[in-house]
Amino acid sequence: MKLKSTFITHSTENEQLMVSVGGDFSGMVRSNPTAAFIIDMLSLGTTREAIVEAMLEKYDAPREIIERDVDKVLSALRKIGAIDE
């Protein structure tokens, strides 16, 4: 899965902004560092499992919590049509 090319991102120290430049969604998404990490991985093309594994290496949290957080972010991105499956 990959972030659609109709979304561009810009990161600062504390957040990431994702803007739609086409498609059905019209707006901007402001992400915290964890969601930004997931979006950055999607920008390169990845799988859910690869995201979970990368987050397990980066964050000190149980797998269940990381999986829940990844699923929550992916679900939100799917709702706005930001992911090519």
pLDDT value of residue 36: 94
What's the Cα-to-Cα distance from 53 to each of 36, 44, 47, 48, 59, rounded to whole Å? 16, 15, 10, 9, 10
How confident is residue 8, by pLDDT bands cut at 50, 70 and 90? very high
Average pLDDT over residues 27-40: 93
Q: Write the CATH number of the domain with boundaries 2-84.
A: 1.10.10
pTM of the model: 0.91
Mean pLDDT of all residues belonging to the chain? 94
pLDDT of residue 45: 96
Task: Please tell me the distance from the alpha carbon of residue 27 to that of residue 31, in angstroms, as a whole number.
Answer: 13
Q: Where are the domains of the chain?
A: 2-84
Indicate if the pLDDT at residue 24 is higher than 90: no
pLDDT digits (tens, 9 = 90+) for 47-81: 999 999 999 999 999 999 999 999 999 999 999 99
